[in-house]
Amino acid sequence: MIYFGQMKTITIRDLRQRWPQAEAALQTEEEILITRDSKPVAKLVRYVEGKSRRKRWDPEEHKRWLKKVWGNKVLPSSDAALARARADRWEKASA
């Protein structure tokens, strides 16, 4: 492997033939520049596991958030409007 400035570089051929060494180098290097004919073609970066997955949707927590945002204001339900729109669509499709 060659150092190109501060970044470590490796040729495509060396990467194929010396993968274990390249993988070990990724443990200490942030990234390795992959070259072909002395020209950069790709960058190999270390994969860092995400901190945590997104929390699952909690309906009770959502209800508390709605109350905090909207207070005691009663919002009209969209169920009736959706049912009408779907009924219209069904009638048009069957006609």
Domain spans of the chain, in order of start = 2-45
* pLDDT exceeds 70 at position 75: yes
How much is the pLDDT for 51? 75
How much is the pLDDT for 2? 54
Determine the Cα–Cα distance for residues 9 and 25; give it in Å rounded to an integer.
10
* pLDDT exceeds 90 at position 11: yes
pLDDT class of 42 with cuts at 50, 70, 90: very high
Determine the Cα–Cα distance for residues 13 and 34; give it in Å rounded to an integer.
10
How much is the pLDDT for 39? 93
pLDDT above 90: percentage of residues in the chain: 28
Determine the Cα–Cα distance for residues 66 and 18; give it in Å rounded to an integer.
57
The CATH T-level fold of domain 2-45 is YefM-like fold (3.40.1620)
